[in-house]
């Protein structure tokens, strides 16, 4: 099993960092601000529950914005 970028052993990684050559958990990804920086080294594990929840939240946000505009 691979290690995280901080050396831990993740149970449920959400992605892989090609720059640091390690797996990423949600907490580590937020700590490094990978999404905020739109890091090109982040390889998402698309089948992970975290990404599905983010898509749903984004869709709800867009629906709310459209309702307010209408």
pLDDT 10s digits, 10-33? 999 999 999 999 999 999 999 999
* pLDDT per residue as tens digits for the range 40-51: 999 999 999 999
State pTM to two decimals: 0.85
Per-residue burial over 35-58, b = 16 or more CB atoms within 10 Å of its CB, e = otherwise: eeeebeebebeeeeebeeeeeeee
């Amino acid at each position: 099993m691979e290690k995280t970028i901080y050396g831990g052993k993740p149970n449920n990684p959400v992605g892989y960092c090609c720059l640091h050559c390690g797996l990423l958990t949600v907490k580590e990804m937020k700590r490094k601000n990978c999404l905020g920086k739109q890091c090109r080294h982040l390889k998402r594990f698309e089948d992970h529950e975290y990404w599905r929840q983010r898509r749903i939240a984004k869709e709800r946000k867009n629906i709310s914005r459209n309702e307010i505009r209408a």
